[in-house]
Chain A
């Protein structure tokens, strides 16, 4: 597992052309909205074949092969996750939680123009109404590092790492797409 690119100090990436930066931001907002609205198929269509979807326990500073994470999905397991949600019998998301997340502080962390690969950091705050049982409003703050790759002309996610602010603490049910 390669470590995450540096996200501290001065930006190390020279500014991207405005249309490309715009395209990346639009991708992040679309991905967030599809997840918020539990539009599983459309969200999955944004995923590349080599996807890794990782929600570490604590900071993303360990090798998830050897230690437990909340989520450490390769493409096949992510497909299973979505298949389970789509059965309509996933009680932990029946009905799906109403959710909205704010995405901000978007920074381009690394660029490989030749390969069409962009690593992007952003912050989020997700508000979830856990309607399946007590209807509590739960707040999930954190930071996402996306690795985006151009596949047949369009951006796709090949990695999404979600570092929760609360990642060291026990978590409520997290059966939605975070």
Chain B
């Protein structure tokens, strides 16, 4: 099978069957979502020992729980006896997990603590914990895990670019900590999951797909940052390597706090607190730059004031699940503003993403029935062009590639890493 993905994913084009072939989806769930790092949630969601939330890793359900020692555990949501689902609510707080099929109980660390009617049980309890993620890691409160345990260090997965994106987001808090207390909103879309790493970091589509939002909300900042003429804006599309991409809007902002739609005098205490933590120069910079817009392979979108997961369901269905950035140590008025902004941008009834969703669904329909080209050739129907801006893309010594915001640099960033993962974990 080696070379199969290299045949479908070229430097400047990819084949449409990648979105519709169920065999490819099965391989992705193993090579990307089981054997690679996946974003799950945030430490603030399981702040105290016993707090738990249920999340997907690919198609598997896992329990993200803070154990008695304060460690983060990622446990299969599947009883070690005969596989009944342990937690069927979204979240909770417990001192142990009891399966309601035959009453086995498990500790917060996944160990098997008690078996009902134990006289007939002749195994060693120590040999029968819940299945668990092979590796769990967190960066500035963002929790990642992988089931296989051989995905390498999290820091390498995130890379300098990915860590920097997360840090720029968290540094907007006067304590350095953000939280996810605004809850999650799920958006169900009839498209392949891979359209979302692409769409979420595509700087080329705004004036078409989001024309209605741009007209209905005249005082948005997109005109200066992403559209307004190819020659006028100086935002950048960046490939940080390792599947981390960014739309860097910072060079285009014409005033500070454009991203928050407010001015310094209205949030004076926040500005003062930020300055107290970071010093004036860095605080000024942060207030100007705002939160980043980037995507970390395979499923974490940092969408300015939003954090989103891309959760695959099947080859033609995905959940785009988001929460609002919430800052620790600020007046709640500011966090409420961020909640309102998030409702406007993301989610099934928002002003932006439903239009992206329709495009993704229409593309999905367009790719139906495509067959991979025979013999690895690049003729035949169903190729998708991703060549835009190759000639004007610059490449730094560390491998970072930088193009104009409207260039397909970010799409190529995703696919280059995708091809690497799918080939190297074959």
Query: Which of B187, B344, B348, B359 touches A77 (beta carbons < 8 Å)?
Result: B344
Which residues on the A side are within 8 Å of B213 (C-beta)?
84
Interface size class of A (residues with CB under 8 A): 35 or more
Enumerate 29 A-B pairs (CB-CB under 8 Å) in ascending A order: A67-B181, A67-B339, A68-B183, A68-B185, A70-B343, A71-B349, A80-B216, A80-B351, A84-B212, A84-B351, A87-B211, A87-B216, A88-B212, A89-B211, A90-B355, A132-B361, A133-B362, A134-B190, A169-B186, A169-B188, A170-B186, A170-B187, A170-B188, A171-B348, A173-B354, A173-B357, A173-B358, A174-B354, A175-B354
The answer to whether A172 touches B348 (Cβ under 8 A) is yes
Interface pair A175/B186, CB less than 8 Å apart:
no
**Is A69 part of the contact surface with B, judged by Cβ < 8 Å?**
yes
B332 touches A (CB below 8 Å) = yes
Given A66-B182, A169-B188, A171-B188, 17 more contacts at CB 8 Å? A66-B339, A67-B182, A68-B323, A69-B185, A72-B340, A80-B351, A81-B216, A87-B215, A91-B355, A91-B359, A92-B354, A92-B358, A132-B358, A133-B361, A170-B319, A172-B188, A173-B354
| Cβ proximity bits A94-128 to B, threshold 8 Å, 1 near / 0 not | 00000000000000000000000000000000000
Write out the residue numbers on chain B whose beta carbons fall within 8 Å of the beta carbon of A133: 190, 358, 361-362, 364-365
Contact A168 B90 (CB under 8 A): yes
A174 touches B211 (CB 8 A): no
Complex contact B190–A68 (CB within 8 A): no
A68 and B348 form a contact (CB under 8 A):
no
Top 8 A-B residue pairs of the complex, sorted by shortest distance between their CB atoms: A170-B186, A133-B361, A92-B354, A84-B216, A89-B212, A90-B212, A171-B348, A170-B188
Is A39's beta carbon under 8 Å from chain B?
no
**Any B CB within 8 A of the CB of A55:** yes
- Docked pose: A57 CA to B354 CA in angstroms: 17
Please, which residues of chain A bring their CB within 8 A of the CB of B17? none
B355 nearest in chain A by CB position: A91
